[in-house]
Copies of this chain bind each other. A is one copy, B any other.
Amino acid sequence: MRFLHTADWHIGKKLHEFDLVDEQQDAYQQIAEIAKEEKVDAIVIAGDLYDRKVPSEESINQLDAMILDLNLTRKFPILAVSGNHDSAPRLGSGSHWYEATHFYLHTTIAQALTPIEMADTQFFLLPYFEPFQVRHFFEDDSIQNVQQAMNRLVAEMQKNFDATKQHVLVAHFFAAGSQHVDSETTVEVGGLDAIAVDSMATFDYVALGHLHGKDALHAETVKYSGSPVKFSLSEAKQQKGVWIVDTAPYNAKFVPIKPKKDIEILTESFATLINPAYYEKVNRSNFIAISLTDVDVITDVMARLRKIYPYIINLDRKYGIQDVESQKRIDPNLDPMTLLTDFYNQATDSQMSKDQQKWAAQALTVAKEDDE
């Protein structure tokens, strides 16, 4: 069979103060069109459908309309799990009714162990979990970390494997590359919270959510789809999209999603940025992150740039700011009294009185004694 793998929709997310409703709606439309063009048999959504555990009413309406369109109008089966940003009970409310139209949304550990069978494949839908939930579920106090929890879950899922079928895991967690693992109880790949790719080797494909870039992991059959929309400056250079996966013979191809509003980073001087000859060539309807190459103070810099670039999401200084009022930079190696005197001079534009100097010296002595 052939399915589309997406994740991390984060409906309700904002990029700095900007709403992403239109970007998310546009990306959704592209996903629906890709599903149609690629003639997929099902759509996998690997968690973090919402950005918040208590989404706004507007976010609820938006996601509801998307899923309704995919499942009830376009008739795609859906296989989905809750992520760490979702509230499992809130998202899962009503999900028992969804299965009649092949919309499978699993939000509990119990649900994860029983596969959903579709065509040649068994899908195990594992929601985001904390180790204590797995410990309680199996009443097994030896489960103390996420890798131990995962090992137990995989062992239980395997009991329900039909050997004549393909096996796909849909999950939402931090997976890390297949480095050597010292012992069964120690995970040494990317920190304590990571699950080793090796421990999922029994599955023909693992459709992951959690990390927002498809290149977060390089494994043949364990993949992040990444988010469909760029959600932060750190995602500016990522290619967003979805995986189209064929189960037998196995094949996975990445189909890109074109951003409606891209994130662009401009590293320029203020003079250049406000020069029409420059900015008229910039797509100023994009989200813009500016890294100013100037080092001097510029009055009202953000307001002046906003008039030209309405969607500024970040403003920083590539080389820091030089205080032009005092050409002398403060040297942290100076003695405390000199530092204090300099600071007073700069801050008040006047000299300390004799009394003030005496009080300052006393205070510094006391502070030094306290320190020792």
**Interface, chain A (partner B; CB < 8 A):** 54, 57-58, 60-61, 64, 68, 72, 87-90, 92-98, 100-101, 103
Contact = CB atoms under 8 A, between A and B. Distances in A.
Contacts of A94: 64, 93-95, 97-98
Contacts of A97: 72, 94, 97-98, 100-101, 103
Q: Oligomeric state, in number of copies?
A: 2
A76 to B, nearest CB: 14
B61 A89 contact: yes
A88 to B, nearest CB: 8
Contacts of A64: 89, 92-94, 96
B100 A101 contact: yes
Contacts of A87: 57
A128 to B, nearest CB: 15
Nearest to A98: B97
B90 A57 contact: yes
Contacts of A96: 64, 68, 72
Top 7 nearest A-B pairs (CB, nearest first) are A94-B94, A57-B89, A97-B97, A100-B100, A60-B89, A60-B93, A97-B98
25 contacts: A57-B87, A57-B89, A57-B90, A60-B90, A60-B93, A61-B89, A61-B93, A64-B89, A64-B92, A64-B93, A64-B94, A64-B96, A68-B96, A72-B96, A72-B97, A93-B93, A93-B94, A94-B94, A94-B95, A94-B97, A94-B98, A97-B98, A97-B100, A100-B100, A100-B101
